[in-house]
């Protein structure tokens, strides 16, 4: 891995039921995400409502197959530096997340 790849910054974004936010956030931190300068465990959290309908073959953690569901969720944003850190953070977040289908958005950040 080149020196520039190891310094590349990324933003991880994941939606999770409110009661699981600390578990998911701490999973990303354990991988080394959430470090900015002299600060660690840095994240931003905003509240909202998640909506979904599990298919008949789904095994939802919340709700029942075929029925529309609304869940109090939070959006967690965490910065990660380096491809290795972001990959491990995504893997750990997926392991810690309660949902059957976990979506983690990863954005490459530009320096200005």
Domain that holds residue 99: 3-108
| CATH, residue 10 | 3.30.70.120
SS3 state of residue 29: helix
Q: Tens-of-pLDDT digits for all 112 residues of the chain?
A: 566 667 899 999 999 999 999 999 999 999 999 999 999 999 999 999 999 999 999 999 999 999 999 999 999 999 999 999 999 999 999 999 999 999 999 999 998 8
- Among left, alpha and beta (phi > 0; psi -120 to 50; other), residue 60 is beta
Q: Are 19 and 47 in contact (CB under 8 A)?
A: no
Our count of domains for the chain comes to 1
- Is residue 12 packed enough to be buried (19+ CB in 10 Å), middle (13-18) or exposed (0-12)? buried
Q: Is the overall model pTM greater than 0.85, yes or no? A: yes
């Amino acid at each position: 891995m080149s020196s520039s790849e190891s310094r590349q910054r990324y933003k991880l974004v994941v939606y999770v039921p409110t009661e699981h936010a600390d578990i998911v956030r701490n999973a990303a931190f354990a991988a080394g995400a959430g470090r900015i300068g002299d600060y660690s465990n840095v994240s931003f959290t905003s509240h909202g409502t998640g909506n979904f309908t599990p298919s008949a073959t789904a095994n939802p953690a919340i709700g029942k197959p075929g029925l529309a569901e609304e869940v109090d969720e939070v959006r967690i944003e965490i910065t990660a530096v380096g491809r290795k850190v972001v990959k491990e953070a995504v893997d750990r977040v997926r392991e810690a997340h309660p949902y059957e289908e976990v979506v983690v958005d990863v954005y490459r950040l530009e320096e200005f």
